[in-house]
Amino acid sequence: MDSEKLNEQWRAISAQVSSYADMDASQVSAFFSRLEPQAMSDSFLMLTADNDFIKSWVEQHYVEPIQRALRDLTGVQFVVAVAVDPTQEARKAASATVTAPAAGNAATAPAAGAVTTPVVPPAPPATGAAATPAVPPAPAPGQAGALGRATPLPPSSPMGTAPLSTAPQPYMPPYDEAAVIDHYSPQPAPEAATGGASRPSCSTSSLTFGNFVIGDSNRMAYSMAVEVAESPGRSPLNPLFIYGKSGLGKTHLMRAIQNYIEETRPGMRTVYADSADFLSKHVEAARAHDREKSSYKDFKTYYEEADVLLIDDVQYLQGKTQTLDIVFQLFNTLTAQGKQVVLSADRMPKNIGIDERYYSRFSAGGVIDIQPPEIETKLGIVKSFADEYSRSEGLGNFTLASDIQMYIAENSSSNIRELKSAVTKVIYQMMLFNRADMTVEEVRTLLENHFSGGPSRNLSIEDIQRAVESFFKVSRSDLVGPKRSRSVVYPRQIAIYLCRQLLDLPYNDIGKKFNRDHSTAMHSVASVEEMLKDNRGVQEEIEALQKIISEYSE
């Protein structure tokens, strides 16, 4: 497809995305102006961004809307890939300096008397030097409105009247093609089929022990992870099983173990596997077995030859009997050889719907939970992430005001991903619109619908206690008092469980509100989780209470 046709189709896609009610047209225009289409076929679109920040933001917030626009315009489901082309911004700048004087039309010429600033492309990096990602330039005062105008297209846009070209235009370096395929391929080939047994593990250098923020909620898990990284295979912590709700840092600790071992023990082979990806590769290897007898053996060998095997989110495998059996075989083979196994899940082993022989073996070593972070830990994460972002983007002494940091820490849920995305959103707003002086009131407006939990939802432990008291006809003095009769203990356990689920507070904080300690709160939650497995009456009571409590937060 020629570049003119490709750019025309990209403009049509951009206009379609901007037209959606749930999209901010000014932000779409600002970000899409930093993207360039590189190749397009009947079901694939390749885009490049000029730096890692733009790439990451587009992947997180705009790939799905782009796919939706392509589906609306063509009726075809597309795979959309984004790569970084560090030369892109320089080429645009150089092109602007060459073409602007020659354009000579009223639409592009500066107004009479306007002061123009020549655009100078940055010097190329020295030979052998790593290219530094470009920092998105802040617009000059008065330019924000221009960023918000989407380019209108005539009704006869070719995107709506002609099928897409079926001849893909190959994209040339610089970009890591293997990484793009791994990230976007809906059905990645199993390692065995691609010579995976000889490939090195994919390190995630940004997730290390050094940038893991430690607090009371995760200190023990952190200590155990460090001990495993320093002495992999030692029996007291082999296997290590880390559990906790999504977004609390389980994957961070697993990747930190992997990176530490790869850095300090290069002779050891580490393999990290997400359970969903492991399942996909297992199914693919089993299907390929009839065509290629060695495929299944190669699949197992890839994991059996690991010195350290880390499997994330094993709760995803409940009900997947054959895949669980393979995991169990790998587990027994590796631990018998003194090799380290690390597992993670969103719940303790016995609460995963798996056979007893699995969870009893998974619990044979160290089992530790990560609790929701306290305000102090969340504040530390906000500061750490803002500093890390500032360094990676070359922003010098950029900082977030202390009241903005505290607002984000107090209002975010326990999910660290949500907290970090809030920080990124605020920093982006400051950079894009040159607003380093944003106030906490402006941040509150910006993040009004961002947080899924926290105080901004106006729900408290007292609200949950009040709802439970009314539902079960017990008094506050009984609910938080010393009584241990069934008629009081059961509502108390339900209330503590709901506090944990709806507020994401640490066990200790919840326990204090019921005049109980940390261990009692943990036991209450575990008891209710056990009852929920097969007791429909308990399930219905929880559902009814959640509906009642939801009215308090509206």
Q: What is the 3-state secondary structure (H, E, C) of 385-419?
A: HHHHHHHHCCCCCCCCCHHHHHHHHHHCCCCHHHH
pTM for the complete prediction? 0.47
Looking at residue 261, its pLDDT comes to 92
Regions of the chain with pLDDT less than 70: 1, 26, 52-53, 88-205, 289-293, 396-397, 452-458, 504, 551-554
Please, what is the end-to-end C-alpha distance for the chain in angstroms? 51
Q: Are 243 and 347 in contact (CB under 8 A)?
A: yes
Looking at residue 95, its pLDDT comes to 56
Residue in the structure block whose two tokens are 């005539």: 154
- Whole-angstrom Cα distance, residue 260 to residue 256? 6
Domains of the chain: 3-94+131-161 (3.30.300.180), 208-369 (3.40.50.300), 375-456 (1.10.8), 458-553 (1.10.1750.10)
Of 51, 412, 388, 393, give the one whose Cα is nearest residue 208.
388
User: Please, which residues have CB within 8 angstroms of residue 402's CB and are 6 or more apart in sequence?
Assistant: none
Q: Are 217 and 370 in contact (CB under 8 A)?
A: yes
- Written as six digits, the tokens of 480 are 């938080």
The DSSP letter of residue 282 is H
Taking residue 536's Cβ as centre, other Cβ atoms within 10 Å add up to: 8
The DSSP letter of residue 38 is E
- Hey, which residues does 312 pair with through a beta bridge? 274
Q: Are 17 and 66 in contact (CB under 8 A)?
A: yes
Pairing of strands 308-312, 340-345: parallel
The alpha helices in 104-249, defined as continuous H runs, are: 144-147, 158-161, 177-184, 219-230
Q: Are 14 and 32 in contact (CB under 8 A)?
A: yes
Rg (CA), the chain: 27
Looking at residue 90, its pLDDT comes to 60
- Whole-angstrom Cα distance, residue 376 to residue 165? 55
Taking residue 511's Cβ as centre, other Cβ atoms within 10 Å add up to: 20
Q: What strands lie across the sheet with 240-243, from one edge to the other? A: 270-274, 308-312, 340-345, 240-243, 366-369
CA distances from 444 to 23, 221, 289, 383 (A): 19, 33, 56, 18
The annotation places the binding site for ATP at: 247, 249-251
- Whole-angstrom Cα distance, residue 459 to residue 554? 9
The DSSP letter of residue 109 is S
Looking at residue 452, its pLDDT comes to 61
Pairing of strands 240-243, 366-369: parallel
The annotation places the binding site at: 247, 249-251
Q: Are 229 and 235 in contact (CB under 8 A)?
A: no
CA distances from 293 to 80, 283, 302, 305 (A): 34, 14, 16, 19
User: Please, which residues have CB within 8 angstroms of residue 72's CB and are 6 or more apart in sequence?
Assistant: 16
204: helix, strand or coil? coil
Residue 489's identity, in one-letter code, is: V
- Whole-angstrom Cα distance, residue 472 to residue 541? 10
Pairing of strands 44-49, 35-40: antiparallel
The DSSP letter of residue 132 is P
Q: Are 51 and 86 in contact (CB under 8 A)?
A: yes
- 449-507 residue pLDDT tens: 777 654 435 678 898 999 999 999 999 999 999 998 989 999 999 999 998 888 767 77
